[in-house]
Amino acid sequence: MPVNILFAAKAESWADYETPLRRALDAHGLDYRLATEMPPETVDYIVYAPNSEVQDFTPYTQLKAVLNLWAGVETAVGNPTLTAPFARMVDDEGLTQGMVEWVVGHSLRHHLGMDAHIVNHGHVWQADAPPMSRDRPVAILGLGALGQACARALTALGFPVSGWARSAKTLPGVTCHHGADGLGAALSGAQIVILLLPDTPATENVLNAETLALTAPGAFVINPGRGPLIDDAALLAALDSGQIAHATLDVFRTEPLPKGHPFWAHPQVTVTPHIASETRPDSAARVIAENIRRGEAGAPFLHLVDRTAGY
């Protein structure tokens, strides 16, 4: 019997994913049917984007797993009809590498003070050399797949990196903190703060008036995680007071960021339209196919979501 795999994502994604998925499934020698429509009661696996039309999983009575194409799961993890094993996307070659490049690029922009020279209409001969990376402490909130990879890249460039996660970690060259008590230590004196936490009830407003005050004065905030991690009003106040020099924000509470939102016009805010990193079809297809291979071999799935923790 072939394994029935339903591709449930926006219609335009099918053109990007069909060939890579078939190639990756063929590489495992799997006997399968892959389609965008099939009778729900016959479906074994759903390759899933949370913005697809599938929101009620009840008719999928023999589902073995739902394999998310996205890293973030906040819009699906609370779905009471999604009771099958639910894996999220961790893709070192694509999603993670893209995030490392985006985070390093935006960190270096602020570290090197590039803006002063890129647009220098006043033709000002400003001769202050930037500090060395070793004198620029970085805090990374969230030490998962993405946070750890960014920590590795930034420590390799010489930045002193402190990190924060829910559980205790030991990472080479990174000063790791964890739990509610560790947040202050991770942020204390940081000149660049990078948010790579998931959006859960426990992480909402993790950057607020109190925690923003713990960074070094004039710190930079870089948020490619999720919008609700930041108390927007507190960030705007910290920007206006100078406690935060600049915020580079890729994610927002409402996306697209509404036209009248103060972030658009703020001279110390850079808005990027949720492009920090996206799932890349070739490498993501290999991750999906590996999980289907595992499911069929009776092996544990990779990257399962912890529904209680919400990520």
Ligand X SMILES: NC(=O)c1ccc[n+]([C@@H]2O[C@H](COP(=O)([O-])OP(=O)(O)OC[C@H]3O[C@@H](n4cnc5c(N)ncnc54)[C@H](OP(=O)(O)O)[C@@H]3O)[C@@H](O)[C@H]2O)c1
Q: Which residues sit at the interface with ligand X, rule CB under 6 A? A: 71-72, 90, 95, 99, 142-147, 164-167, 196-200, 202-203, 224-226, 250-251, 274, 276-277, 311
CA distances from 16 to 6, 7, 282 (A): 15, 12, 9
Q: What are the phi and psi torsion angles at 75 (to 5°)?
A: -85, -5
Minimum CB distance to ligand X smaller for 137 or for 147: 147
Structure tokens at 302: 């990779």
Indicate which residue of 178, 274, 303, 307 is catalytic. Answer: 274
Minimum CB distance to ligand X smaller for 54 or for 174: 174
Minimum distance of ligand X from residue 306's CB (angstroms) = 8
Residue nearest to ligand X (CB): 144
Minimum CB distance to ligand X smaller for 46 or for 165: 165
Indicate which residue of 110, 111, 226, 246 is catalytic. Answer: 226
In whole angstroms, what is the distance from residue 279 CA to residue 95 CA?
Answer: 5
Minimum CB distance to ligand X smaller for 4 or for 223: 223
Minimum distance of ligand X from residue 68's CB (angstroms) = 11
Q: Is 226 assigned a catalytic role?
A: yes
Minimum CB distance to ligand X smaller for 85 or for 130: 85
Beta-ladder partners of 138? 161, 192
Minimum distance of ligand X from residue 285's CB (angstroms) = 17
Minimum distance of ligand X from residue 221's CB (angstroms) = 14
User: How close are the terminal C-alpha atoms of the chain, in Å?
Assistant: 33
Minimum distance of ligand X from residue 164's CB (angstroms) = 6
Q: Is 294 assigned a catalytic role?
A: no
Q: What are the phi and psi torsion angles at 109 (to 5°)?
A: -55, -50
Show which residues are catalytic. 226, 274
